[in-house]
Amino acid sequence: MSLTPHNGAMPGDFAKTVLMPGDPLRAKFIAETYLENPKLVTSIRNVYGYTGTYEGKRVSVMASGMGIPSIGIYCYELFNFYGVESIIRVGSAGAYHPDLKLFDIIIGQGACTDSNFAAQYNLPGTFAPIADFGLLRKAVDACEKAGARYMVGNLMSSDVFYNDDPEAWKKWRQMGVLGAEMEAAALYMTAARAGKKALAIDTISDILGTKEEATPEQRQTAFDQMIRVALAVAEE
């Protein structure tokens, strides 16, 4: 019997580090392309999770679905029921910063949000969701070694994709936020509460100021560099 209603894996099925893309099919692609001997350990709701090895390291990959509520469920269960120590989000982001180009990488030092996710903790103030510094430093080193274009800074994790105010993103840009996505803040908060490690690494898939965007085919190949960086960061 599985440990949770959302995950069919058994105790010990997941490695200590899990890479977490949003798309279940991208999880499948990562497992089959980069891992040796990948084993499907869960497929409930077609949210695929695999465990295999990469350069001798045992690594897992599992989809998070889209948005803060979805990743909030899956990362909570991995941290609290399956003994996972580190989750590295590998996703896409829309660029706010004018120096970012398509397929550049953002390493999320922190994650701003318009979500009410933190209210559950009943904190006597606000909370600043941040990445684990050790994972972040390894990601920077991996980007430098690979010659990847990257920036380190704040992400904006939004609950809203189709914003009724199409200019709202510019206010975040004024505060130095690098780009928008929909999951990192919940991942960072859940990791903090569980005493675990988390990092979000996102490839730029579109530019908000110019409306440039990558095709689905381009995304599949351009994300290779980000995935290799995440795999280099993965800890046993």
For 228, the domain range is 17-233
Residue 10, domain member (yes or no): no
Tokens of 187: 């991942």
Residue 23, domain member (yes or no): yes
Which residue has better confidence, 202 or 236?
202
> What percentage of the chain exceeds 90 in pLDDT?
91
Residue 11, domain member (yes or no): no
Measured CA to CA in angstroms, residue 38 lies from 29, 33, 73, 107 at distances of 11, 9, 23, 27
Tokens of 63: 């989809």
Task: Tell me if 70 sits within 8 A of 21, measured CB to CB.
Answer: no
Q: How many domains are contained in the chain? A: 1
Residue 3's nearest CA partner among 41, 38, 40 is 41
Residue 6, domain member (yes or no): no
* Residue 120 CB neighbours (<10 A): 10
* pTM of structure: 0.96
* Residue 16 CB neighbours (<10 A): 18
Residue 89, domain member (yes or no): yes
pLDDT at 222 > cutoff 80: no
Residue 1, domain member (yes or no): no
Residue 132, domain member (yes or no): yes
Residue corresponding to tokens 């019997």: 1
Q: Specify the CATH number for the domain of residue 135.
A: 3.40.50.1580
Out of 13, 23, 164, 206, pick the active-site residue.
Answer: 206
Q: What is the mean pLDDT of residues 11-29?
A: 96
Residue 164 bears catalytic tag: no
Q: What is the pLDDT of residues 100-130, one digit of tens each?
A: 999 999 999 999 999 999 999 999 999 999 9
Residue 5, domain member (yes or no): no
34 band by pLDDT with thresholds 50, 70 and 90: very high
pLDDT at 1 > cutoff 70: no
